[in-house]
Amino acid sequence: MKTIRQWKLATMAIAATGALLGTSAHAGATLDAIKARGQVVCGVNSGLAGFSGADSNGKWSGLDVDVCRAVAAATLGSADKVKYVPLTSQQRFTALQSGEIDVLSRNTTFTITRDASLGLHMTAVTYYDGQGFMVPKRTGIKSAKQLKGQTVCVQSGTTTEKNLTDFSNANNLKIKPVVYEKLDATNAAYFAGRCVAYTTDASGLASIRSNEAKNPADHVILPEIISKEPLGPMVRRGDDEWFAIVKWVIHGLVEAEEVGITQANWKTQKDSDNPSANRILGGKGQDTGKLLGLDADWMARAIDAVGNYGEIFDRNVGPKTPLNLPRGVNSQWTQGGLMYAPPLR
**Alpha-carbon distance 201 to 209, whole Å?**
12
Q: Measured between alpha carbons, how far is 344 from 288 in angstroms, rounded to an integer?
A: 7
Q: Is residue 222 in some structural domain?
A: yes
- Please tell me whether residues 300 and 236 are part of one structural domain: yes
Q: Are 233 and 103 in contact (CB under 8 A)?
A: yes
For 53, the 3-state DSSP assignment is strand
Contacts 24+ apart (CB under 8 A), 50-53: 50/203, 50/206, 50/207, 50/210, 50/316, 50/317, 50/321, 50/322, 50/323, 50/325, 51/107, 51/127, 51/203, 51/204, 51/207, 51/316, 51/317, 52/84, 52/86, 52/105, 52/106, 52/107
Confirm whether 1 is domain-assigned.
no
Q: What range defines the domain where residue 61 resides?
A: 29-128+231-321
**Is residue 145 in a domain?**
yes
211 exposed, middle or buried (CB, 10 Å; 0-12, 13-18, 19+)? middle
Task: From first to last of the 345 residues of the chain, give the pLDDT tens digit.
Answer: 445 454 444 444 444 444 444 455 666 899 999 999 999 999 999 889 999 999 999 999 999 999 999 999 999 999 999 999 999 999 999 999 999 999 999 999 999 999 999 999 999 999 999 999 999 999 999 999 999 999 999 999 889 999 999 999 999 999 999 999 988 999 999 999 999 999 999 999 999 999 999 999 999 999 999 999 999 999 999 999 999 999 999 999 999 999 999 999 999 999 999 999 999 999 999 999 999 999 999 999 999 999 999 999 999 999 999 999 999 999 999 999 999 999 999
Task: Give the neighbor-by-neighbor strand order of the sheet with 197-201.
Answer: 176-180, 151-155, 197-201, 131-136, 219-221
Q: Which of 227, 245, 270 is the last residue of a domain?
A: 227
The answer to whether residues 123 and 242 belong to one domain is yes
Asked whether residue 6 is domain-assigned, the answer is no
